[in-house]
Amino acid sequence: MKLISANWKMNMTPTQTRDYITKFLPLVKDVKDREILLCVPYTSLCVAYDLLKDTHIKLGAQNVYYEPKGAFTGEISVAMLKDLGVSYVIVGHSERRWIFGERDETINRKLLACLDGGLRPILCVGERLEEREAGLTFKVVETQIRLALSSLEDHTDMIDIAYEPVWAIGSGNPATPEDAQIVHKFIKDLLKSINKNYQGKTRVLYGGSVNPQNAGEFMKMPDIDGLLVGTASLDPEAFAKIVNSF
C-alpha cells in the first residue's frame, strides 16, 4: 500500500497536536486504500496516540536511540516508542545528519535496534546540492544505503526508504518527478542486488517540498511509493489534500 507520511519536525505543542488531529481526521476518514502516517515530536506522541488509536492512521516518531535503556540522558528507546503505540520511526533524516552530526554507523545501529524491537524504520537518504552538481547523486545514495544496511542486507523488506535530496527539503524547490523516479528506480535495483531474497516490500518515498499541487505528479511515477512531507504537513487541510491527491 502507498504510504503518505507527515514529518512535523520540531513543530506543534501537544495542544496544537490535538487541534490538528481533530481537524484532520474527518478529512481523511474514508481514505482506506493508502497508509497515512503522522511523525510527530516525542512530546506529542501521547496525545496523538489517544486520538489515533481507534483510527486507521498510524503514529510515527522522528528519531530513536539504539540502546535499549540506561544512562543516555535525553534519548528515547525503541521500547518506549512501542509502548506509546508508535509503529514507524524516521531514521537518518538529513537534518539529523547535517545539524546533529549523525553518522552512517549510528544510523545502522538505529536500524538494527528498530528491526530487533519491531518498529518499522523509514531510512532517509539524499544528496546535497554540491554532490548533485558534481554528478555524485547515485554514489552518495548508494553509499548511504549500503552503510545503513550493513549486516541487515537480508532484512531490507522490513524497512521503507525516503529519498530526500537535501537541496529540495524546505526550499520550495522540489526535484522533478522524472528525476526522482530515476533515483527511486536506482534504489530499488540496489535493494534487489544486495538482498537476493528481496520481496519488494520496501516502499521508496519521495520527500522535499511536496505540496498539494505537486503531490499527484510524484505519485504518477511507477517507483514512487509514497511521500514524506514536512512544511505542507503542518496544515491539516493541505496534508489531507496531499493524501487525497492521487
Q: Which residues bind ligand PGA (CB under 6 A)?
A: 7, 164, 169-170, 207-210, 228-232
Angle at 64 between CA 145 and CA 78, to 5 degrees: 110
User: Amino acid identity of 172?
Assistant: G
**Catalytic residue from among 93, 95, 102, 127:** 93
Burial of 230 (0-12, 13-18, 19+ CB in 10 A): buried
**Catalytic residue from among 35, 95, 102, 164:** 164
Burial of 191 (0-12, 13-18, 19+ CB in 10 A): buried
Query: Which one, 159 or 232, has the nearer CB to ligand PGA?
Result: 232
Rounded to a whole number of angstroms, the minimum distance from the CB of residue 133 to ligand PGA is 19
Query: Which one, 67 or 237, has the nearer CB to ligand PGA?
Result: 237
Q: Is 155 a catalytic residue?
A: no
Report the residue closest to ligand PGA, judged by CB.
230
Rounded to a whole number of angstroms, the minimum distance from the CB of residue 106 to ligand PGA is 19
Q: Is 93 a catalytic residue?
A: yes
Rounded to a whole number of angstroms, the minimum distance from the CB of residue 79 to ligand PGA is 25
Query: Which one, 118 or 170, has the nearer CB to ligand PGA?
Result: 170
Query: Which one, 7 or 77, has the nearer CB to ligand PGA?
Result: 7
DSSP string, 145-188: HHHHTTT-GGGGGG-EEEE--GGGTTSS-PPPHHHHHHHHHHHH
Angle between helices 137-148 and 177-194 in degrees, nearest 10: 40
Active-site annotation, residues: 93, 164
